[in-house]
Structure 1
Amino acid sequence: MTRRLSVEVWIVLGLSLGQSAVYALLSLVRKLSEGRLRDSTAGLNQSRDVVPWLDLTYQVAGIGFALVPVALALYLLNLDRDAPPVFARLGLDRRQPWRDLAIGAGLAAVIGIPGLGVYFAGRALGVTAEIVTAPDLLHWWTVPVLILAALQNALLEEVIVVGYLMTRLRQLEWGLPAVIAASALLRGAYHLYQGFGQFVGNALMGVVFAWWFHRTGRVMPLVVAHTILDVVAFVGYALFADVVGLR
């Protein structure tokens, strides 16, 4: 049983955010080899094709395929014997939608405001790349796709890094501090392409989110919080970057 679960965890992470962590580290190494980190750029949600309808197709397809590991993780958890249905088990159900929404919004404020401080401090110290969260050329569908991308990120990260990984590590008899540390460090690792500052900021966010899941058993407020954070970052940049002089 222990060996099967260990292999399963490595496979799920290798197909999803563990793979992202490796590529993020390689991206960081390349940035450092090219010069100062403060002069580099980390781009998210960039255009995939110069032809608008192909760009839209690529964007939507990318969002859809990114959710396949989420489906895999939920499917594997649902195979566990003598366990509640997976959505109830992870707190992804709709039993308390307004409470989840309110808590998610509160968590977004708690994480988001200090997160901005971490980003600007990292930029000032030269340990964080400039983060560009939207394409330069906007289309009528750009904002809806950015919102979908935010929801995709939230589901991918919170279901796998919090719900799935923490559940499996506890089944493997890891202690709580080690479980929280593993979840938080993985979250920081796949943000390394943005620099050391964002690694630290996201790892701290990971500690808060992992602790919350341990205390409540609910992932839904974390999905709400993460979606709000990314919608503000993605859509805010797309609409106001020119106004505030970010591009």
Structure 2
Amino acid sequence: MSLRTWLAPPRRGDRLTDPTERRAIVVELVVVLAVTLGMSALRSLLSLLDALLAPEPLAEQQVAINVRQADLDLIDLLRQLLSATQLFAWGALGLYLLWRAGIRFAEIGLDRRRPGRDALTGAGLAALIGIPGLGLYFLARAVGANLTVLPSTLDDTWWRPIVLTIAAAANAWAEEVLVVAYVLTRLRQLGLGENASLAVSAVLRGSYHLYQGFGGFLGNVVMGLVFGRFWQRTNRLWPLVVAHTLLDVVAFVGYALLRGRVSWLP
């Protein structure tokens, strides 16, 4: 695939013309985002504003992603699993609404035709995003544009790597189904151009990472542009879910295992 083909506006898909159907989709988009990642974006924005108003510079402040949720280990484990279940449910909601609209899973790239190829492509995408993304994080933190991100502060329990892996998969499922397949499909049906839809999706992805700082926002916008365009071109969603899961597993589990053993990790 040439660079010109990759950057050019791809097919527009099926645009809805009935005013009632279009209004219903707009309302649906607002409601879905209000109870899922859109609300997370607003909370993230407030978190960043709070950090900017604090006396300490951003780089001297810390934010943790996976934290302990209860004093008792068993209750903590159950609450961690409930948090992951909520994320899986968010993705399932977007998938269900597309299915109710007559869109088959295969049409958004969630069929099982080529699991091996999807897994390899996902691993390649993870490397493409992960290595430069790590460099961007350290650069943003060095210039004071990002908080210090702690992927996990969970205690060293037998279930920690299991829970962190499940959390990684849950994050990947919720974000890729909602921000890519669901949002881009609905915007296409509303007649928004593919490039404009891609920009909306990428900015949404970046916005609910604002709690990490400006570097987290920018890095996830870039990730959203790459992932969104990949889906628009290939119509395959599984590679994005695989790539995102791998990125988060490395970040969550890797950090938990190396924290305190590697000098450059906070």
TM-score of the alignment, normalized to the shorter chain, above 0.5? yes
The residue type paired with residue 151 of structure 2 is: T
State the 1:136 CA deviation: 4.7
For 2:53, the equivalent position in structure 1 comes to 33
For 2:17, the equivalent position in structure 1 comes to none
For residues 174 and 184 of structure 1, the distance between their equivalents in structure 2, rounded to whole angstroms, comes to 15
Q: How does 1:81-120 map to 2 (within 5 A)?
A: 81=102, 83=103, 85=104, 87-120=105-138
Work out whether 1:229 is the aligned partner of 2:247: yes
Q: How does 1:117-128 map to 2 (within 5 A)?
A: 117-128=135-146
For residues 88 and 243 of structure 2, the distance between their equivalents in structure 1, rounded to whole angstroms, comes to 18
1:71 to 84, 92, 114: 92
For residues 56 and 100 of structure 1, the distance between their equivalents in structure 2, rounded to whole angstroms, comes to 31
Work out whether 1:46 is the aligned partner of 2:74: no
Contact 2:133 2:219 in 1 (8 A): yes
The residue type paired with residue 240 of structure 2 is: L
For residues 96 and 223 of structure 2, the distance between their equivalents in structure 1, rounded to whole angstroms, comes to 27
For residues 80 and 49 of structure 1, the distance between their equivalents in structure 2, rounded to whole angstroms, comes to 40
- Count the aligned residue pairs: 244
For 1:55, the equivalent position in structure 2 comes to 76
Task: Return 60-69 or 185-194, whichever deviates more.
Answer: 60-69
Question: What is the CA deviation profile of residues 114-169 of structure 1, one whole-angstrom value per residue up to 9, with x for unaligned ones?
Answer: 00110000011100100101125210000000000000000000000000000000
1:184 to 195, 202, 221: 202
State the 1:66 CA deviation: 2.2
2:43 to 14, 23, 28: 23
Work out whether 1:14 is the aligned partner of 2:34: yes
Three-state SS of the structure 1 residue aligned to 2:149 is strand
For residues 208 and 77 of structure 1, the distance between their equivalents in structure 2, rounded to whole angstroms, comes to 23
For residues 132 and 65 of structure 1, the distance between their equivalents in structure 2, rounded to whole angstroms, comes to 22
Contact 2:109 2:236 in 1 (8 A): yes
For 1:129, the equivalent position in structure 2 comes to 147
Runs of 4+ with deviation above 3 angstroms: none
Identity %, equivalent residues: 49
TM-score normalized by structure 1? 0.97
Contact 2:205 2:224 in 1 (8 A): yes
Work out whether 1:80 is the aligned partner of 2:98: no
State the 1:3 CA deviation: 0.4
Task: List runs of 5+ in structure 1 lacking aligned partners.
Answer: none
Contact 2:66 2:151 in 1 (8 A): yes
Three-state SS of the structure 2 residue aligned to 1:44 is strand
